[in-house]
Structure 1
């Protein structure tokens, strides 16, 4: 790099529209540090000036294919430099990006495309046969190939990005949608949250402030494109630093990317950190340069936090975020000690309440539903008319998560409303049972789910995975828990498995276990 770009100062809700929306970030970095690395992907390096020029030219070409302001651009591919460029080109054109999950069955992919009706679909070459099978006749959208040369009469992004520079870019205001961010689908059919420019800037600025991120940070961007397209992507763009793309979430791939590029900030789910702990012992510490290690999307067991600190010297930072809040809304800060189930404090701009069963504010120490509001909360779901009784309405999101607020302003996770057990009238939070199970030295990971019980209405079912080389039995775990849990909290069923089922984003697919 020839220098470092200064952090950009963008209001969470700009009073005037930005030319090209997110393109303002690219242009600022290109002007401040044209030769600085914007994207690192394996051995490939994309410089700030090159990225800004490719995005601008591609936006013009996509517009010529029919991608007008407000139209939708679909991307059916993996996490590559082309996917990032397509995302930013759509934003520069004032269009709305949405990802296609390549792990979905063909009929689901077709239903998504028919429902969202993209003006242009960017497809990785490996998925062209699948696209042809889904739409063998005339397609209702233009198609561009994301990688490789043009094929079958279809243009490729590389050639499109070499076309003329646009005479002008549209202005994008804070309420204009930038992309559709889909829920994970672990609690029902995925929905596309309409994410605006104002939402993106609010969440990015809040995260930068909460974690003390700087232009010197190197961000590992490993979440699939269809999970959170922006979360770690926009932070480096806003700061003028580099993002490292890692399309695979295997322990080896993550460790290699961290070592090669000296990553300082990353976000992952707890399961990915678990796989890092299982790496063979070696001389090199893959997390040696990491100073901000966020973990969201699922509970962080105390044993995992202790294991990372002991082996790698890494302090894990549990956070709470969601699709509907455009990412992180609660976070532990660097330097704060880990405590079981501690979600931390609200990040700047987010307003957090805990409501009891009657809809009133719960007192400190009492559990209630977590409700989030503020400029980072999405306005609604695509194709769904907003209504006050919906969880997401009017800048407020009723999360369905049960938390408690302590007197020092920190929030603690208790469980999800959908996972809360009522055993003989007693409220039982699965996370408490999971923490007890994880304290067993031979348990690598576990989850507790509710099951029907004829006598008590509901009961707990525990599914545990043994550590490598260890053996477990339901009887052994039952004896272990007997001295640690109230008898009403004891799992009625204990099951031992080699692995837990997971979503493509790494979360545990708990419904498959219930």
Structure 2
């Protein structure tokens, strides 16, 4: 098999080339079975002081699959997973495939309306959720859905530490009408299930988009998608079989599903979990388990750098750090490298590309575009064509701005039950990302911003990213977000929301003057509001829309 190690892949290739690399698996279940056979006694998951070996993961996922089949779960049925970052998530994923089904990945921060929609839209037959989430949310929703079996579990399982910073108020909450996951597994240990196999276009799981342009849509991530992008992380990003992956991204999100779980299922690396992101708890997990790789939103690394007790030595075990899911200001990347000694390797992908479509090759520094100040999100990964299209749908010349589009083995089949939306966003199975950017002659991709976030100030285009990057250059700024707000004279004007670093001080007037010195007159923010925290998705992406709506009103 050809891998990047067999070619001079660190030499950047031009924009009309993409290395063609053989894909090792088409079937995610076959992929993980190979790891079960190769590394039975090695650690698959580390969760505080608990360890689950690959053999135990194999045995428990088979037992769960047997239990599901006993309850009538059949080929093509959907199992919804409504969990935080706990070992049960991985067990359920593999068990669903062994039982012939499709996993539905649900954000544990979803409330009744969102959970009800996703259960109904996916037609899930089984729901697995935390006991606390069943009691507070799911019990009110399940009776009106197709769910026939509710499995509940606790974050206290699979470990004995019960860290008070996360679990201080957690207690077991067994509810009528539910089945305990661990008890079901124990009841079926030692049983077998009929062998199943999958083709490249069979759906492995449904991941729901955030719904920023309408109702959430269930992206159909196939077994071929999963195997390909897991291999990208292994071969391109360098996740090795002797290392471990720190799970800082939520497992329900495509980054967690592939950049954490998928690559471990392929490479045999251990997955380090800490329930949910809490900076002090994550730092403790790093010190205890010494992971070698992680990928997460830049806000995760900003939080770790600013956490009490942070030390450069904490990151000595890491070989590579990748970031994706949110824009990175060059000044933040420089600060992280200064604090840890590690460069940030950038990545870019969407739910619809099953995680990465571009990556910065390991050991190579992402360039910064001198005109826009944008930090490159990498080059197209192997077997992937990235095009920059203009408003007319035709490719624009290199260096010109247009919509970023991608075609390759990682692009999903479409959206579950939504043919019209699939045709609009994925014509010919080429993704129209909605992100605006450009490509350099060497093949580097630069994102300018989201199309819908562009600010029109008296006819001048202002991209929020550029203003945010300037603000991040101020020594007191921890995080920044820029939106357009109505203006009687200019039609729309620039407003920034800023949170400051602990112990730092700066006034809005000082920050405005800082930007004014460094930007064209139409670009700098006319008003700045200081806030304690910026609103974010559970993956760490700053929610401009939540800032824009109250600002506009």
Alignment map for 1:296-311 (pairs within 5 Å): 296-311=324-339
CA deviations on 1:56-113 (whole Å, 9 max, x unpaired) are: 2211211221221111001222221112101111012221111333322223322322
Cα distance 1:73–1:184, how it changes in 2: closer, same or farther (>3 A)?
A: same
Q: Distance in 1 between matches of 2:101 and 2:483?
A: 41
CA deviations on 1:183-210 (whole Å, 9 max, x unpaired) are: 2344543221011101111111122221
Q: 2:148 aligns with which of 120, 141, 149?
A: 141
Tell me what 1:252 maps to: 280
Q: 2:205 aligns with which of 164, 171, 179?
A: 179
Q: 2:351 aligns with which of 323, 332, 335?
A: 323
Q: Distance in 2 between matches of 1:400 and 1:454?
A: 29
Q: 2:480 aligns with which of 408, 432, 446?
A: 446
Q: Answer yes or no: is 1:508 the counterpart of 2:542.
A: yes
Q: Distance in 2 between matches of 1:166 and 1:388?
A: 38
Tell me what 2:183 maps to: 159
Q: Answer yes or no: is 1:61 the counterpart of 2:67.
A: yes
Moved more, 424-433 or 291-300: 424-433
Tell me what 2:257 maps to: 230
Alignment map for 1:360-379 (pairs within 5 Å): 360-379=394-413
Q: Answer yes or no: is 1:271 the counterpart of 2:306.
A: no
Q: Give the secondary structure class of the aligned counterpart of 2:179.
A: coil
| Shift of residue 11, structure 1, vs aligned partner | 6.0
Alignment map for 1:92-131 (pairs within 5 Å): 92-130=98-136, 131=138
Q: Answer yes or no: is 1:335 the counterpart of 2:341.
A: no
Q: Give the secondary structure class of the aligned counterpart of 2:282.
A: helix
Moved more, 130-139 or 29-38: 130-139
Q: Distance in 2 between matches of 1:445 and 1:434?
A: 9
| Shift of residue 452, structure 1, vs aligned partner | 2.6
Tell me what 1:132 maps to: 139
Partners of 2:62 and 2:193 within 8 A in 1:
no
Q: Distance in 2 between matches of 1:288 and 1:269?
A: 20
Q: Answer yes or no: is 1:486 the counterpart of 2:483.
A: no
Partners of 2:249 and 2:297 within 8 A in 1:
no
Partners of 1:438 and 1:445 within 8 A in 2:
yes
Partners of 1:94 and 1:178 within 8 A in 2:
no
Q: TM-score, normalised by structure 2?
A: 0.85
| Shift of residue 135, structure 1, vs aligned partner | 4.4
Q: Distance in 2 between matches of 1:135 and 1:310?
A: 50
Tell me what 2:319 maps to: 291
Q: Distance in 1 between matches of 2:297 and 2:213?
A: 17
Alignment map for 1:5-20 (pairs within 5 Å): 12=23
Cα distance 1:195–1:487, how it changes in 2: closer, same or farther (>3 A)?
A: same
Partners of 2:494 and 2:526 within 8 A in 1:
yes
Q: Distance in 1 between matches of 2:479 and 2:310?
A: 23
Partners of 2:324 and 2:349 within 8 A in 1:
yes
Cα distance 1:289–1:375, how it changes in 2: closer, same or farther (>3 A)?
A: same
Partners of 2:119 and 2:145 within 8 A in 1:
no
| Shift of residue 139, structure 1, vs aligned partner | 7.2
Structure 2 unpaired stretches of 5+: 1-20, 158-171, 369-374, 549-553
Moved more, 468-477 or 261-270: 468-477
| Shift of residue 118, structure 1, vs aligned partner | 1.5
Q: TM-score, normalised by structure 1?
A: 0.92
| Shift of residue 355, structure 1, vs aligned partner | 0.9
Cα distance 1:430–1:242, how it changes in 2: closer, same or farther (>3 A)?
A: same
Tell me what 2:234 maps to: 208
| Shift of residue 158, structure 1, vs aligned partner | 2.1
Q: Answer yes or no: is 1:390 the counterpart of 2:416.
A: no
Tell me what 2:5 maps to: none
CA deviations on 1:160-216 (whole Å, 9 max, x unpaired) are: 323152242222111111111122344543221011101111111122221122211
Moved more, 261-270 or 445-454: 445-454
Q: Answer yes or no: is 1:219 the counterpart of 2:253.
A: no
Q: 2:215 aligns with which of 177, 184, 189?
A: 189
Calculate the aligned-residue CA RMSD, in Å: 2.3
Equivalent pairs counted in the alignment come to: 500
Q: Distance in 2 between matches of 1:104 and 1:225?
A: 14
Tell me what 2:13 maps to: none
Q: Answer yes or no: is 1:402 the counterpart of 2:432.
A: no
Moved more, 199-208 or 158-167: 158-167
Moved more, 343-352 or 386-395: 386-395
Q: Distance in 2 between matches of 1:54 and 1:350?
A: 36
Cα distance 1:276–1:507, how it changes in 2: closer, same or farther (>3 A)?
A: same
Q: Give the secondary structure class of the aligned counterpart of 2:489.
A: coil
Partners of 1:183 and 1:227 within 8 A in 2:
no
Q: Distance in 1 between matches of 2:387 and 2:312?
A: 43
Partners of 1:463 and 1:495 within 8 A in 2:
yes
Q: Distance in 1 between matches of 2:213 and 2:146?
A: 32
Q: Distance in 2 between matches of 1:444 and 1:138?
A: 43
Tell me what 2:492 maps to: 458
Q: Distance in 2 between matches of 1:100 and 1:210?
A: 28
Q: Give the secondary structure class of the aligned counterpart of 2:315.
A: coil
Cα distance 1:411–1:107, how it changes in 2: closer, same or farther (>3 A)?
A: closer
Q: 2:289 aligns with which of 258, 261, 268?
A: 261
Q: 2:269 aligns with which of 220, 241, 254?
A: 241
Q: Distance in 1 between matches of 2:358 and 2:472?
A: 24
Cα distance 1:139–1:454, how it changes in 2: closer, same or farther (>3 A)?
A: same
Q: Distance in 2 between matches of 1:85 and 1:388?
A: 31
Partners of 1:186 and 1:509 within 8 A in 2:
no
CA deviations on 1:373-394 (whole Å, 9 max, x unpaired) are: 1110011111201467511233
